[in-house]
Amino acid sequence: MTATGGIAIGSSPRLAPRRRSWLRSPWLVPLPGFLLLAVLSLPPFLYALYLSFINVDISLPNNKVHFVGLANYAQVLGSPVGQHALLITLIVSFGSTAAAIVIGLVIAYLIHLFAGRLDGLVTVLVLIPLAVSPVAMALVFSLMLDPLYGPVPQIVAFLTGALIAPTGTSLGALLTIIFVQTWQWSPLAVILLLGGIKSLPIEPIEAAMIDGASFWRALWHIHLPLLRPLLAVAAIFEFILCSQVFAATELLTNGGPGNATVDLSLYIYKIGISESSQVSVAAAAGVITLILGLISTAVWLKVAKWDVQVYQ
């Protein structure tokens, strides 16, 4: 709020030599937007910080509320459940980002090289998972992975004779979550990388091939280094999106088996709202999530600028 106010007063004296009152500032037109955003982001942030340093627990109304220092953070980062949630968030984010980038690169090249006349249609098909509701997605995967009636276990049983329940084991459930996140967000990687690949020159590859390099080697050694800035943008962007899981962990695996797929979001929801009411611990976990998000966003903004400098 103060930031916007400051800007309204100090707006571009260079272009407007005449001294104007703040009422005539051009910033007044978009001001409702800035104000609303400020009101909806700064107070909750400060309130989250406040909550995370005291000891609010709704189930203990007679509890004296007082400052507890870093105790809530210690509980999140020091308890096995909290550490596990952080670990799961990192595994899911890094795992699905890596998968999305590899799949994105492969599909983008396949489209670029082989789709021919159909490349418009193929791009539209690739785009679709992005628009599918995460709830519907959790639903489809619970259909497809049902140990009895799901096609995936049925096909596996037909081929190998083994009966599997993918969401029944810790590893299987975690892989399922990673797969769901990858399926939802890799279209973005395909689209971003396809745009980059189309803008790359083909001549250096031709030259390398004339010199005797194979097509794939030329692609690997010449195109990939050129794509590096774009790969970095796509990767960090995917990371931000892939780290935001909820529908899959809540609906598909419900954090289970045990707490094998409880990531930070689900941990916050369970410990703060649904299973217990340790509001302050949940707020501290929220601040940790926020810090992770801020770091990755900062990296993304840096890398995106870097990308533009390279391509102009």
Q: Is 163 in the site for another protein (CB under 8 A)?
A: no
Q: Is 258 in the site for another protein (CB under 8 A)?
A: no
Q: Is 44 in the site for another protein (CB under 8 A)?
A: yes
Q: Is 237 in the site for another protein (CB under 8 A)?
A: yes
CB of 69 to another protein, least distance (A): 18
CB of 205 to another protein, least distance (A): 8
Q: Is 23 in the site for another protein (CB under 8 A)?
A: no
Q: Of 154 and 259, which has the nearer Cβ to another protein?
A: 154
Among 120, 161, 162, 312, binds another protein (CB under 8 A): 120
Q: Is 202 in the site for another protein (CB under 8 A)?
A: yes
Q: Of 11 and 259, which has the nearer Cβ to another protein?
A: 11
CB of 138 to another protein, least distance (A): 7
Q: Which of residues 49-88 bind another protein (CB under 8 A)?
A: 51
Among 131, 159, 162, 171, binds another protein (CB under 8 A): 131
Window contacting another protein (CB under 8 A); options: 62-70, 71-79, 94-102, 105-113: 105-113
Window contacting another protein (CB under 8 A); options: 64-72, 75-83, 220-228, 294-302: 294-302
Q: Of 174 and 266, which has the nearer Cβ to another protein?
A: 266
Distance in angstroms (rounded) separating the CA atoms of residues 45 and 50: 9
Q: Is 225 in the site for another protein (CB under 8 A)?
A: no
Q: What is the DSSP string of the chain?
A: -HHHHHHHHT--TTT--S---GGG-GGGTTHHHHHHHHHHHHHHHHHHHHHHHB---TT-TTSPP-B-TTHHHHHHHHSHHHHHHHHHHHHHHHHHHHHHHHHHHHHHHHHHHH-GGGHHHHHHHHHGGGGS-HHHHHHHHHHHT-TTT-HHHHHHHHHH-----GGGSHHHHHHHHHHHHHHHHHHHHHHHHHHHHHHS-SHHHHHHHHTT--HHHHIIIIIHHHHHHHHHHHHHHHHHHHT---HIIIIISTT-STTTT--HHHHHHIIIIIS---HHHHHHHHHHHHHHHHHHHHHHHHHHHHHHHHH-
Window contacting another protein (CB under 8 A); options: 61-69, 131-139, 169-177, 220-228: 131-139
